[in-house]
């Protein structure tokens, strides 16, 4: 068998075969190098498209105005209104006491006899005095009964006089032993019987006189008459209400007092007598009337822990109305010449109440304060013209911020507001800064060129 000899392949012969393979390898290497660039470019394009879409659908917000101060320059002083701490009298008032206006007298006038109502002598809402005419019930049936009883009394009186004459004769005959002792004594008892009959007749006549007085209905107290309950011509009985008379002036308020307040109130009553009481409307913002505390009840309600109190008010202007709901403020003490601060100056922080105190160099510092015992930070602002007593933290003559403290911080620079509410002029040491947006274009271009970068 012939052996086939394989001759080696020369470089010239192998070059054409290697050329296509090298080209393919180079293309693959180029494609591999371009893949990260393609991915990065795709991610960048996607992010740009997402940013554009977000700003297209998101609501626009107004941009904050750019600061006109140079870099590193201090902020402009904040205009504020201040008050000077001084001494004054402070009233300690117990408030939040709920009460109801209660008339001293609220009388339902009823007829005390039965009969036809002949006349109504009042108008609805009329003010009447005690004894004024209100209504008239038909008196004629009672006049007739009175006349009948008077006739019966005259008959009994005649019988009584006859019995007395017989008794005198029997006593004379008894002395002469002309009649028996028993007969004379019996005549004495007959006289007693007729005397009793006459007295009974007189009582019945007096009863009819009373009925005739009841037929004319008058006001039992002074006050205001309500709406009409019955008209003339109706038959009334003792159960029917003819009128409702309510005493308006003076008038009282019954209110509840927590048992914790009782010692202070009793101590103040012993010291100064009747305590001042102010009645405010339902919203506890408008004062209606001023009166005096009459008394507290003699026991505490065990279910509520409250004791009822009654205060009396003059009510000539009818500012208080029966059954009206009111808020009661009870003055229990007056602290004289004490350090007082405006309630508007006191703010609440994490460490408690504080104020912004103005220093001599027109800066503010946070100063902790403590209201006096018995004072509450949420006290009604109408008391003491909006002032409250300060136990510690402030001294007479200190200045505190009462308006414009919302954007302040400890150590901030401030300028005081003028008396008319406008901010005072800036201190001479400060140069007013111009707003760059108001400069001419040429000036802004020149300033940018001269400003070092």
Angle between helices 181-215 and 140-175 (to 10 degrees): 160
Cross-strand bridge partners of residue 276: 292
Alpha-carbon span 107 to 223, nearest angstrom:
9
Token pair of 368 as six digits: 């902790």
What SS3 state is found at 33?
A: helix
In this structure, are residues 325 and 280 in contact, taking their beta carbons and an 8 Å threshold? Answer: no
pLDDT at 202: 94
CATH 2.40.420.20, the chain: domain bounds: 78-85+340-416
**CA–CA distance, 191 with 313 (Å, rounded to integer):** 62
Adjacency order of strands within the sheet including 133-137: 216-218, 133-137, 115-120, 235-236
Question: Could you please report the per-residue DSSP string of 37-90?
Answer: HHHHHHHHHHHHHHHHHHHHHSPP-PPPPPP-SPTTPPPPPEEEEEEE-EEEEE
What is the predicted pLDDT for the residue at 20?
61
Cα 170–chain centre separation: 88
Q: Give the residue among 81, 83, 85 at the shortest CA–CA distance from 415.
A: 81
Max CA pair span of the chain: 215
78-85+340-416: what fold? 2.40.420
CA-to-CA distance for 234 and 271, rounded, in angstroms? 57
CA dist list (Å): 289 to 93, 127, 250: 16, 21, 12
Which part of the chain has CATH 2.40.30.170? 93-103+253-335
Cα–Cα distance, 225 to 125 (Å, whole number): 5
Distance CA 66, CA 19 (A): 67
Token pair 């007056």 is found at: 334
Predicted local confidence at residue 392, as pLDDT: 87
DSSP state of 418: P
**Contact residues for 265 (Cβ-Cβ < 8 A; gap 6+):** 94, 257, 275, 293, 296, 309, 330, 332
Domain span(s) for CATH 2.40.50.100 in the chain: 106-245
What's residue 425's pLDDT?
A: 35
What is the per-residue pLDDT across 315-348, written as a single tens digit (0 to 9) for each?
999 999 999 999 999 988 888 888 888 888 888 8
What tokens were used for 109?
A: 């006038």
Scan for tokens 């009459």, then name that residue.
294
Q: Which CATH class is domain 93-103+253-335?
A: mainly beta
| Assigned CATH topology for domain 106-245 | OB fold (Dihydrolipoamide Acetyltransferase, E2P) (2.40.50)
- Find out whether 279 and 99 touch, Cβ atoms under 8 Å: yes
End-to-end CA distance of the chain: 95
The two three-digit tokens of residue 67, written as one number: 């600061």
Residue 92 host element (H or E): strand 86-102
pLDDT of residue 180: 82
Flag residues of the chain having pLDDT under 70: 1-41, 51-75, 373-383, 418-453
Whether 246 contacts 103, CB under 8 Å:
yes
In tens, the pLDDT along 140-184 reads 999 999 999 999 999 999 999 998 998 888 888 888 887 888 888
Torsion of CA 242, 248, 251, 255, to 10 degrees: 70
């Amino acid at each position: 068998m012939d052996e086939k000899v394989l001759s080696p392949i020369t470089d010239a012969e192998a070059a054409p075969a290697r050329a296509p393979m090298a080209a393919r390898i180079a293309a693959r290497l180029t494609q591999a190098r371009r893949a990260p660039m393609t991915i990065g470019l795709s991610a960048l394009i996607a992010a740009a498209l997402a940013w554009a879409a977000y700003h297209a659908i998101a609501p626009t917000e107004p941009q904050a105005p750019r600061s006109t101060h140079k870099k590193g320059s201090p902020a402009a002083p904040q205009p504020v209104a201040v008050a000077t701490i001084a001494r004054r009298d402070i009233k300690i008032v117990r408030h939040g006491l709920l009460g109801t206006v209660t008339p001293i007298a609220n009388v339902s006038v009823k007829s005390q006899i039965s009969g036809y109502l002949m006349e109504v002598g009042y108008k609805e809402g009329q003010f009447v005095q005690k004894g004024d005419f209100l209504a008239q019930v038909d008196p004629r049936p009672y006049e007739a009964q009175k006349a009948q009883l008077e006739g019966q009394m005259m008959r009994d009186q005649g019988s009584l006089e006859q019995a007395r004459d017989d008794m005198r004769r029997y006593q004379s005959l008894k002395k002469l032993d002309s009649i028996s002792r028993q007969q004379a004594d019996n005549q004495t008892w007959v006289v007693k019987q007729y005397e009793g009959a006459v007295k009974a007749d007189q009582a019945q006549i007096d009863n009819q006189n009373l009925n005739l007085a009841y037929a004319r209905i008058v006001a039992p107290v002074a006050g205001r008459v309500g709406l009409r309950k019955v008209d003339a011509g109706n038959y009334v009985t003792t159960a029917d209400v003819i009128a409702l008379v309510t005493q308006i002036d003076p008038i009282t308020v019954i209110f509840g007092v927590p048992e914790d307040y009782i010692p202070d109130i009793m101590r103040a009553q012993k010291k100064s007598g009747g305590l001042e009481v102010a009645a405010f409307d339902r919203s506890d913002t408008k004062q209606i009337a001023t009166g005096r505390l009459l008394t507290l009840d003699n026991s505490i309600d065990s279910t509520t822990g409250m004791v009822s109190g009654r205060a009396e008010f003059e009510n000539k202007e009818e500012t208080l109305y029966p059954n009206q709901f009111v808020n009661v403020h009870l003055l229990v003490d007056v602290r004289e010449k004490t350090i007082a601060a405006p309630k508007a100056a006191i703010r609440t922080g994490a460490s408690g109440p504080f104020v912004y105190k103005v220093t001599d160099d027109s800066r503010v510092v946070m100063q902790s304060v403590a209201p006096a015992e018995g004072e509450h930070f949420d006290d009604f602002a109408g008391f003491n013209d909006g002032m409250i007593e300060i136990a510690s933290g402030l001294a007479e003559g200190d200045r505190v911020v009462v308006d414009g403290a919302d954007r302040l911080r400890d150590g901030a620079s401030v300028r005081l507001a003028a008396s008319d509410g406008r901010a005072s002029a800036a201190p001479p040491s400060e140069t007013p800064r111009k707003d760059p947006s108001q400069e001419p274009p040429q000036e802004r271009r020149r300033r940018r060129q001269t400003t070092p970068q």
